[in-house]
Structure 1
Amino acid sequence: MSYSIEQRGRPNTPDYRVYFKNSEGKYISPFHDIPIYADEILISFPLNLSKRFLSVDYYFMLQNIFHAVVEIPRWTNAKMEIATKDALNPLIQDTKKGNLRYVANVFPHKGYIWNYGAIPQTWEDPGHKDGDTGCCGDNDPIDICDIGNKVCTRGEVIKIKVLGTLALIDEGETDWKVIVINTEDPEAAEFNNIDDVRRLKPGYLEATFDWFKRYKVPDGKPENHFAFNGEFKDRDFAIETVKSTHEFWKALVGKKTDAGGLNCMNTCVLDSPFQCSSGDAKATVDAVSSSVYH
């Protein structure tokens, strides 16, 4: 499945929106409609064993390759994000006190030092206190930091390998930062765990920790804190964390938990009470803005 974007409004204005379309050119939600897994492979079964006796976990063999939506390309400063409370969840630029937000250059860093984004169909539940961090989720999809060599474009959907994670505690909330690499990176085969990042990209993890610790200081805020004394957890821990947020998302989009103002409108999540038609999705986009940015 391939995806494209449509920009509406002018960049660097509050009206700017980046909407997503599927390969058929129909509007979708990057939060809800892009599958979390990018590598579902149907496995074969013994002829004498009926598939109906097997659970979904056995029906698909998952290699833990995930999709990610790039919100902020490397080296850029505009704080773009999936608008979780807007219909169809376009990318928008975050605002504070009516002003567009830009992340400061914190020496020696320039903007975001990775391609920064989120894994679709995940949700850090603010009603769930994490057993490891002791804090509840931040009410957003789980964040990723892509360390690959390519500088991605805003709204690009990539396939990623999970390598590890850092547990940022942001204003009392758990805000996982999952370290990943684009599977199309020429060096992707060499990266399989967090120690590979430490070995092959010396200083990158330290720079990542430093960036998250200090990036709010220019705005007059104190340095951020971390669980696990700032230790990066390994691939297996990170994958389980991602999968747990997928379960929280399932409850959210299935209306089994309080959405708390989040918009769960989607076009292709089966059995979701929030599912809408392609026509309704288009009407929703057109109602927000008729101006397509070229």
Structure 2
Amino acid sequence: MSGYTTEERGAPNSLEYRLYIKDSSGKPVSAMHDIPMKSAAGDGVYNMVVEVPRWSNAKIEIDLKSGLNPLKQDVKKGKLRYVANVFPHHGYIWNYGAIPQTWEDPNHVDGNTGCKGDADPIDVCEIGQKIHARGSVVQVKVLGVFAMIDEGETDWKVMAIDVNDPLAENLNDIHDVEKVMPGFLAATVEWFKCYKMPDGKPANKFAFEDKPKDREFAENIISGCHDSWAKLMAGETPADGIVLSNTGLGNGSSIDQAAAQAIIDQNPALGETQPLPDDVNKWHYVSLK
């Protein structure tokens, strides 16, 4: 295991809920900046911060606008966001999260897609068998990547698998997924096309004729997003509200452990989990035709 732990604040399923990550010594860290992009476990192994466990609906993400970048639930028009269950999918169909120390630069037009980045860390769909807890830092093997176009922005979706998953030894590149898990990649494309349609939005589109690119391509995209993050941290790219505070990088944005704990302590104590909305388990039916 990675040795990271979490500290929750506020009541789960409330606007105040926050989840902070701590390292193996108990020191608070930034979920975005302090956790290395690559794991010490070996070549080609990346760290993934799990934002949304498989089968759940709460749209949790790393909060770039708050100190230490905790996980929080996305809010729209003052209400917590939950993804709809678009038949036959229930919630998210993989463990969903992000690779730390990556950033999709909204000022950079991607040469492959002709679209700018979405100003977030790069997204990961972990396709293994275990449901990982929110805030887990999981070591994953990258298999490939889809290029989703979301409201005119490039939103890369990296496909990966937990290195400890029983299937991991048989999955080394994107073409292995169809052999071992037939139908899974097609279901992934369908999920991303449909998930906003119950809100009245059009289906998302994909570059490359809806097909994923291979592992080498994916690793190059991740590397480019890591370079964009490094420029952000170095002040070469405007932060535009992104909080750069960290506890381990030893740069101008680094803070000490006391200051980091003070950021966490500003939040209310962990409260009772609030009930989910009545309609969170509703089936939604859409047609892509």
- Superposed pair shares fold, TM > 0.5: yes
Which runs of structure 1 show a deviation greater than 4 angstroms over 4 or more consecutive aligned residues? none
Q: Is the 8 A contact 1:191 1:197 kept in 2?
A: yes
Give yes or no for the alignment of 1:282 onto 2:261. Answer: yes
Corresponding residue for 1:239? 219
Unaligned segments of structure 1, at least 5 residues: 41-61
User: For 2:140 and 2:9, how far apart are their aligned partners in 1?
Assistant: 28
- The residue type equivalent to 1:38 in the other structure is S
User: What do residues 70-113 of structure 1 show as CA deviations (whole Å, max 9, x unaligned)?
Assistant: 00000000000000111111000001000100000001100000
User: For 1:23 and 1:39, how far apart are their aligned partners in 2?
Assistant: 14
| Secondary structure of residue in 2 paired with 1:192 | coil
| Secondary structure of residue in 2 paired with 1:31 | coil
User: For 2:14 and 2:142, how far apart are their aligned partners in 1?
Assistant: 34
Alpha-carbon shift at residue 5 of structure 1 (Å)? 0.3
Corresponding residue for 1:190? 170
Which range moves more in the overlay, 70-79 or 223-232? Answer: 223-232
- The residue type equivalent to 2:263 in the other structure is T
Give yes or no for the alignment of 1:74 onto 2:54. Answer: yes
2:188 aligned residue (195, 208, 213): 208
- The residue type equivalent to 2:258 in the other structure is G
Corresponding residue for 1:113? 93
Corresponding residue for 1:39? 40
User: For 1:222 and 1:275, how far apart are their aligned partners in 2?
Assistant: 42
Q: Is the 8 A contact 1:32 1:264 kept in 2?
A: yes
| Secondary structure of residue in 2 paired with 1:84 | coil
Corresponding residue for 1:23? 24
Q: Is the 8 A contact 2:113 2:207 kept in 1?
A: yes
Corresponding residue for 1:292? 270
- The residue type equivalent to 1:5 in the other structure is T
Alpha-carbon shift at residue 293 of structure 1 (Å)? 4.4
User: For 2:192 and 2:240, how far apart are their aligned partners in 1?
Assistant: 27
User: For 1:229 and 1:262, how far apart are their aligned partners in 2?
Assistant: 33
- The residue type equivalent to 1:251 in the other structure is K
Q: State the Cα RMSD in Å.
A: 1.1
User: What do residues 152-193 of structure 1 show as CA deviations (whole Å, max 9, x unaligned)?
Assistant: 111111000000000001111110000000001012111000
Alpha-carbon shift at residue 238 of structure 1 (Å)? 0.3
- The residue type equivalent to 1:285 in the other structure is I
1:224 aligned residue (200, 204, 223): 204
Alpha-carbon shift at residue 123 of structure 1 (Å)? 0.3
- The residue type equivalent to 1:8 in the other structure is R
Q: Is the 8 A contact 1:190 1:196 kept in 2?
A: yes
- The residue type equivalent to 2:260 in the other structure is A
Corresponding residue for 1:7? 8
Give yes or no for the alignment of 1:147 onto 2:127. Answer: yes
- The residue type equivalent to 1:12 in the other structure is N
Count of residues paired in the alignment: 271
User: For 1:227 and 1:85, how far apart are their aligned partners in 2?
Assistant: 29
| Secondary structure of residue in 2 paired with 1:249 | helix
Bigger Rg over Cα: 1
User: For 1:275 and 1:247, how far apart are their aligned partners in 2?
Assistant: 19
Q: Is the 8 A contact 1:7 1:293 kept in 2?
A: no
User: For 1:203 and 1:221, how far apart are their aligned partners in 2?
Assistant: 25
User: For 1:177 and 1:122, how far apart are their aligned partners in 2?
Assistant: 13
User: For 2:271 and 2:69, how far apart are their aligned partners in 1?
Assistant: 18
Map 1:169-184; keep pairs closer than 5 Å. Answer: 169-184=149-164
Q: Is the 8 A contact 1:255 1:273 kept in 2?
A: no
Unaligned segments of structure 2, at least 5 residues: 273-289
Identity over the aligned pairs, expressed in percent? 52
